[in-house]
Amino acid sequence: MSIETLSTAQLRAAAIEVLRVNDLGTMTTAAPNLYPHMWSWDAAFISIGLARVSVPRAITELRTLLAAQWTTGMIPHIVFTDDDTGYFPGFDRWGTANAAALPPGTRSSGICQPPVHAIALRHILDRARENGGSDQQAAESFLAESFDGWLAWHRWLATVRDPDGVGLVEIHHGWESGFDNSPRWDGPYSRVVPGEVEPFTRRDTLHVADASERPDDAEYTKYLWLVQQMASVRFDDDAVRDTIDFRVRDVFFSGIMAASSEVLAGLGDELGRTGDAAELRELAARFRAGVASTVDPATGLARDYDVLASEWISTDTVSGFAPLVAGGDPGLLERQRDLLQGPHWMGHPDLRFPLPPSTSPASPAFRPRTYWRGPVWPFLNLLLGWASARDGQEHLHGSLRSASLDQLSDLKFAEYYDPLSGTPLGSFAQAWTAAAALEWIG
| Residues noted as catalytic | 180, 415
What residues have CB less than 8 Å from 2, skipping those under 6 apart? Answer: 406, 409
Residues 163-182 that bind ligand 2M8 (CB under 6 A): 175, 178, 180
Which residue lies nearer to ligand 2M8 by CB, 80 or 147? 80
Which residue lies nearer to ligand 2M8 by CB, 204 or 439? 204
Least gap, CB of 319 to ligand 2M8 (angstroms) = 12
Which residue lies nearer to ligand 2M8 by CB, 156 or 432? 432
Contact 354, 402 (CB under 8 A): no
Q: Could you tell me how many residues make up the chain?
A: 442
Least gap, CB of 24 to ligand 2M8 (angstroms) = 15
182 conformational bin, left if phi > 0, alpha if psi -120 to 50, beta if neither:
beta
- Tell whether residue 357 is a contact of ligand 2M8 (CB under 6 A): no
Least gap, CB of 178 to ligand 2M8 (angstroms) = 3
- Tell whether residue 39 is a contact of ligand 2M8 (CB under 6 A): yes
Binding range to ligand 2M8, per CB under 6 A, among 19-27, 39-47, 142-150, 325-333: 39-47
Contact code string over 72-91 relative to ligand 2M8, x by CB under 6 A: -----x--------------
Binding residue for ligand 2M8, selected from 3, 19, 30, 425, defined by CB under 6 A: 30
Our measurement of the distance from residue 172's CA atom to the centroid of its chain's CA atoms, rounded to an integer in Å, reads: 16
Beta bridge pairs of residue 39: 78
**Alpha-carbon distances, residue 387 vs 151, 281, 393, 408, 419 (angstroms):** 21, 17, 9, 20, 22
Nearest to 184, CA basis, from 259, 294, 90, 89: 294
What residues have CB less than 8 Å from 224, skipping those under 6 apart? Answer: 89, 93, 194, 197, 198, 200
Residue nearest to ligand 2M8 (CB): 178
- Tell whether residue 183 is a contact of ligand 2M8 (CB under 6 A): no
What residues have CB less than 8 Å from 434, skipping those under 6 apart? Answer: 14, 15, 16, 18, 19, 49, 413
- Tell whether residue 41 is a contact of ligand 2M8 (CB under 6 A): yes
Burial letters for 266-303: b for 16+ Cβ neighbours within 10 Å, e otherwise?
ebbeeeebeebbebbbebbebbbbbbbebbeeeebbbb
Least gap, CB of 70 to ligand 2M8 (angstroms) = 17
Which residue lies nearer to ligand 2M8 by CB, 115 or 178? 178
Binding residue for ligand 2M8, selected from 3, 42, 64, 435, defined by CB under 6 A: 42
Least gap, CB of 78 to ligand 2M8 (angstroms) = 6
Which residue lies nearer to ligand 2M8 by CB, 21 or 285? 21
Least gap, CB of 348 to ligand 2M8 (angstroms) = 23
What residues have CB less than 8 Å from 246, skipping those under 6 apart? Answer: 171, 172, 173, 174, 185, 188, 189, 192, 226, 308
Binding residue for ligand 2M8, selected from 35, 246, 287, 417, defined by CB under 6 A: 35
Contact 46, 37 (CB under 8 A): no
Which residue lies nearer to ligand 2M8 by CB, 174 or 361? 174
- Tell whether residue 368 is a contact of ligand 2M8 (CB under 6 A): no
Cα(241)–Cα(208) distance, integer angstroms:
34
Residues 198-257 that bind ligand 2M8 (CB under 6 A): 204
DSSP type of residue 74:
P
Binding site for ligand 2M8 (CB under 6 A): 30, 35, 39, 41-42, 77, 175, 178, 180, 204
